[in-house]
Structures are given as C-alpha cells and as structure tokens.
Amino acid sequence: MSSIEAAAIRRFRASYTDALADYLREPREHSLRIAYELGREAVTRQLSVLDLAVAHQEALLAALAMATDPAQAQSATRAAGDFFLESLSAFEMVQLGFTEAREAVRVERRQIEMSRQLSTFLADASLALDASGSLEEMLRLVAEQARELVGADCCVATVALDGGPRAAEAISCSDGDRRWAPFARWLDLFAIYRRIRVSGGSVRIGGELLAGLPEFQRAAADRPLRGWLAASLSALDGGELGAIQLFDKADGDFTGEDEGVLIHLAQMASAAVERAQLYQEGTA
C-alpha cells in the first residue's frame, strides 16, 4: 500500500469516527444520512468492505470508551449498528452499480470490436476469389457473432442460391447443443423467407405466437421455442439471398435493439454474399 493510499484510509477512518460520534450524541436522520454518504465515499476511494468494517470497529471502540455504564454501552452499540448498516447498504449499492456499469462498458466494447472485425472480414475481396470455400466460413462467423451479440441460444444462417433454399448454411448453438442441428434441418425455409419478406425484411415473434406458425410446427414439434428473430439477406435489387435467424434469447425476449443489431449484420452479410455471387457469374 502506498503512502497516499494509507493517508486516504486514515482520513476516511477519522471522518467515520467523527460522524459516528455525532450520530450517537444525537441520533437524527441527518446524521444517518452522513453514514450513507460515507458508504458512497468508500466506493469512490476504492476501499474494500473490510476497510469499512475496520473503520467502524475503530469508531465503535472510541465511542464505547466514553460510555459510563453498561446500559449506555449497549445503547451505543445498537445505534452504531444502525449507522454501520446504513453505510454498508450504500457501499454495496454503489459498488454494484459500478460493477454493472463496468460490465456494460466491457460488453459494449467487445460488441463494437466484434462488429469491426466482422465488417473487415466481410469487406475482404478474397471472399469473392474463393466463393465456394469462403461462403460457408463467412456464414459461420456471421452466425457465431450474431448469436453472441444478441445473446441467443441458436443462430441459423442460410443462403438461397440457384433456386435452393440452403445452398450454404451455418448453425451456431450455445454450448454446442446438438439438438439444434436436426431442428434446423426441418425448418420450412421457403415459408420462413416469405414471412420475413412480407414483414418488411425482419421479424420478431415471441414463443406463444410461434407455436401457431405452420413453418415451425414440424421443426419445433419436440422443441418448443421461446422466441424468434430473423432478418433477410437481400441483394441490392431486392432479390432474396437467404436469412439469418436467431432462436431463444438466453435472458428474456428479443428486443428492438436486438433486431437493429441483426439487421445491420444481415446488411453486411448480404453485400458479401452478393459480391461472391457476382464473381461466380463473371467467371462462369
């Protein structure tokens, strides 16, 4: 511990001792509010809950030394406990907020980096030079990152070329769940492409409504779905190239923000697929 850190802890302990003494002399709401602020200050100073407990112990010992009889000592101990709990509750609440904020920033940075990497990959001209081998790889990366960015249990990315609904396909599942592979094989892709197209290029439906959709009745017969989010892969002229579908968000329902993320990924993937398709046609 540096001398600066040690000095900061000493100042905090002195402040805590003075505040507790004031509260014990006159237990008021204002004095208890100071306990709350001390808990917040402890987090700001990056102190631990142990530092807070030590500060309280020292302050309590100083207060008990002033007690003139057991009854007064008991009363001071009980009141000091209320003071400490107020300070501790503020400490835990603020610390939790800081932790959640840091995690949110970490996740956001990771998502931005993932999107940047995927965007660079999809813009790589080499995708078109080896379309037969790179299309599957591109779909795999899109499926993996779409699932991770949105937090879904499964992503199915399919490309429909030459009249076939799945000229290329990639499946990404949480924890390598093998039950999704047979589910994906039974998807009625023609009906799914049509529903996404009629919905304007993207669709988001909850589990209760999914149960009544005919395109999922066979695939989901043994696996009820909690949610479905999908976006079309479309050429510049509006032609249909395929779709990216997400199933069962890990935490809650798919949101409008999730839909925006998927649409963005679908737009990037569509450009890469069309570029590869144009290259194939030019070299045929």
Per-residue pLDDT of 242-263, as tens digits, reads 999 999 998 889 999 889 889 9
Phi, psi for residue 116 in degrees, rounded to 5: -65, -45
Cα–Cα distances in angstroms (integers) from residue 253 to residues 212, 224, 225, 276, in the given order: 18, 15, 11, 34
Encode pLDDT of 160-218 as tens digits: 876 677 778 899 987 767 788 888 888 889 899 999 999 999 999 987 788 778 888 77
Report pLDDT for 75.
84
Q: Which parts of the chain register pLDDT below 50?
A: 125-129, 131-132
pLDDT at 8 (0 to 100)? 78
pTM: predicted TM-score of the whole model, two decimal places:
0.58
| pLDDT of amino acid 111 | 57
The pLDDT assigned to 158 comes to 92
Distance of CA 10 to the CA centre of its chain: 39
Domain borders along the chain are 3-102, 129-283
Q: What's the confidence (pLDDT) of residue 129?
A: 41
The CATH code belonging to domain 129-283 is: 3.30.450.40
Per-residue pLDDT, 87: 86
Strands (E) across 133-201 are located at 152-159, 168-173
CB atoms within 10 A of CB 107: 12
- Give the list of residues 6+ apart from residue 226 with CB closer than 8 angstroms, or none: 206, 207, 247, 248, 249, 253
pLDDT of residue 176: 65
Please report the DSSP string for 23-91 in residue order. Answer: HHHS--HHHHHHHHHHHHHHHHTT--HHHHHHHHHHHHHHHHTT--SHHHHHHHHHHHHHHHHHHHHHH
